[in-house]
Structure formats: structure tokens, C-alpha cells
Amino acid sequence: MSSLIVAGGVPLSGSCRISGAKNAALPILAACMLLDRPVWLTDCPRLADVDNMLRILRTLGCHTAYEGDRLMVDASRAHNHMLPEQLTKALRSSVFLLGPMLARLNRAVVAYPGGCEIGQRPIDLHLQGLRQLNARIHEEGGSIRCEGDRLIGADIHLDYPSVGATENIMMAAVAAEGETVIRNAAREPEIMALQEFLCATGFSVSGAGSSNVRIQGGGAPRSATFKIMPDRIVAGTLLAAAAITGGSIRLTNVVPEHMTGILAKLRESGCAITAEDAALTLCAPERLREIKLIETLPHPGFPTDMQAQIFAVCTLARGTSVIVENVFENRFKHALELGKMGADCTVRGRMAIIRGVETLRGARMNACDLRGGAALTIAALAAEGESVVQNAEYIDRGYECFEKTLCALGAQVVRKA
């Protein structure tokens, strides 16, 4: 396992272009299974999770290759309906392949997916939705067996606006007879990106971004070149890093409308933020103010994937901040690690109370999950002395060359194997 060695006390400054979004790329890569011809993706981030998804696609018979700055995926020879257990255990998003495999191969066998241990993330809504499309699903021995030789469109109401379930049902429904309507669908920007990809490759989907998504079965699949949307969580993380260090940065290749919840809380902390068409500029005050209340919620609320990073920001803010985690019940592991740096925080179930301190001190910490690892790193940027963030591989799952990005903004971060 590798570590990030961080020398704190340097305000971030400069400009950075944001890469494509992991949470958009993974379902789009899964959707490539729907096509019997190649597609090209631009701005696809080179991340550990993306690499794992490409490995899974290759075991299914797909051909993948980087051609300059484009990623080519050709699923024309896809034939294997069994997902490799070792890779699916390492990648939560492997569950996205259930819908496309049912649509393309009429069957799928997959082990229960893995990923970061941030709480219960049941896939019941995925399976219920696929069953309503007339898929036959059997769960046995730690694996899920699906058959769907005749998928039929349905009116599906999700009990919770699950991003993954919405995406999985969308991908299966393009092969179903008739129309499918997903009600109480997730509204995240990544849902809109998947709709744009499906429409670009010949399918008929509408309504993404609202609570009702409509999919017309059938279509005429075609090749396409598609750009992955910018990563709003990477952008938010870098803004948080600039805020906690008292810095000033400009981000390009962003969609400010995707980040309204994040920007509102950073402004509440005292940061001056200017939004342009595809750029954001943040200037932090000498010391941040407390953020009275942050509640993680489905989009357009504050994203759970930014909770740990805003937690880190609050550790140095003047006053007391409160965070309520409504999405995952076990997503405060970073609190204990931040305490090693002198952070004053108390966790009670799904609520964290953070009393801002004057300074953080360098410490040796363990990243326990992807976003928590990023939070420890940005806290270390603002701490006195040197910090070590162990288990940096977690961070690699969602940030492309994180230490290089930070160094380009003036930080002093070195990776050590």
C-alpha cells in the first residue's frame, strides 16, 4: 500500500482543468455492452475503478484500447455472461452491468459487488426494478443469477431515488418491449449524462434530471464519440482544499449548475466564488466561518460524496458546524483520523458536531475509503508540519494523479510506495 506525504501550510493557488467524472464514466462504460459496434469516449478518467471496469468488460469479450486521448470500447464480440468474482468484489459499480447484460445477452451471473465500506448499500432496488421488467432473478450462494429472454416495459416506482438503480433500469429498459417509466428516479447530473450517451448511440430516453424518466424500448444502435461530463466531486474537493488552506484557485471544465449545493456551503464559510460558463474561481478568507448545518441528500441537495471533504474544512472554521449524513450510516470514519491532527469533533450516529480549532498538527493517518482519504489529504495541506496519509490506493479509485494535481496548485505532496 502506498502513502501520501504532505507538508502542510502552503495556500493553494493557480488553475486546474477538471477531468471527466468517475460516477458518469462507470455506468457509460457498462452501457457500451448494449452495442454491437465500437464507441469512443473522451475525457474518460484513468482511475483504479475505471481500470477495473475495463478488465471486467474484457472478460466479457469486449475489446478496449486507448487511442491517444480517446478510449475505444467495442462490445461486438461480447459473449460471456458471468462476471469474475474477484473483480466484482473490488468494484461496487460492477452491478451496473446487470441491466446491459440482460439487454444484450439475456442473462447474467454476478457476485455481490464490493467497494468502499461506508455503510449498507443494498441492491434491492436494482433487482426489484429488473424483476418488474420481467427478468427472472435468483440469489444463491453469494451470487445473483438473472435471466431475461423477454424484457417487457413497465411503470416502476423507486422507494428511494437510487442513482445506481435508476441507471441499471434505464439500460435494461432500452431492450424491453414497449415503454418503461421510472418514477421517483434519481436526478443527479450523471443520470443526464447516461441519457445523453444512450440517445447518442441510438436509443430513446427522456426525462433525466427530473423525477420521471421514460425509456422507449428498441432503437437503432450506432457508433458514437461521447465526452464524459466533468467531475463535480473532484472539483468540489479542490475547492475545499483551496478553502482550508486560505488559497485562491480557478477551475476550468466544470459545470457550476451541477455544484450548487457545494458552492452554497463554501460561500457560507466565507469563500468568495465566481461562476462562469465552464469555470469557477474561489478566494478563501483569512479564516473560515462555521457552517451551521450540512445535510447530505440526493441531488440537488448536498452530495454525500462531498461530506468528508466539507467535514475537513469545518475543522479549522471559527465556531461550531453540524453535519447530518442522511445517505450512508457509516460514513464518518475520517472523524477519528482527523482527531489525530487535533480536530475537535464528536460523532453521534448520523450526526457530527465539529468545533473549529486554530490549528491542525501533522499526523500519520489511515484512509478508510475514497472520499475520506481525500479529506485527510486536504486537511494535511492546512496542518502544521508533515502528515502521512496511508492506504492512498483508496484515493486512486476516484482521483486521477491526486498528488500531481495538488502539486500543480502549489502543494507539497509526495507519494511513497
Whether 3-18+230-416 shares its CATH topology with 22-227 is answered yes
- Which secondary structure element, helix H or strand E, spans residue 273, and what is its range? strand 272-275
116 in catalytic set? yes
| pLDDT tens digits along 225-279 | 999 999 999 999 999 999 999 999 999 999 999 999 999 999 999 999 999 999 9
Task: Give the Cα separation of 146 and 139 in Å (integer).
Answer: 9
Contacts of 6 (CB under 8 A, 6+ apart): 362, 377, 380, 381, 383, 386, 387, 388, 389, 411, 412, 413
Give me the pLDDT at residue 118, please.
46
Q: Which of 16, 62, 116, 146 is catalytic?
A: 116
Q: Where are the domains of the chain?
A: 3-18+230-416, 22-227
pTM, entire model: 0.95
Indicate the range of 217-221, 289-293, 308-312, 406-410 predicted with least confidence: 217-221
| pLDDT tens digits along 172-221 | 999 999 999 999 999 999 999 999 999 999 999 999 999 999 999 998 99
Q: How far is CA 229 from CA 50, 193, 195, 258, in A?
A: 15, 7, 12, 10
CA 344 to chain centre: 28
- 22-227 fold: UDP-n-acetylglucosamine1-carboxyvinyl-transferase; Chain (3.65.10)
Give me the pLDDT at residue 114, please.
57
Give me the pLDDT at residue 120, please.
47
Give me the pLDDT at residue 335, please.
97
Query: Is the model more confident about 289 or about 115?
Result: 289
Task: Give the Cα separation of 329 and 311 in Å (integer).
Answer: 16
**Per CATH, is 3-18+230-416 categorized as 3.65.10.10?**
yes
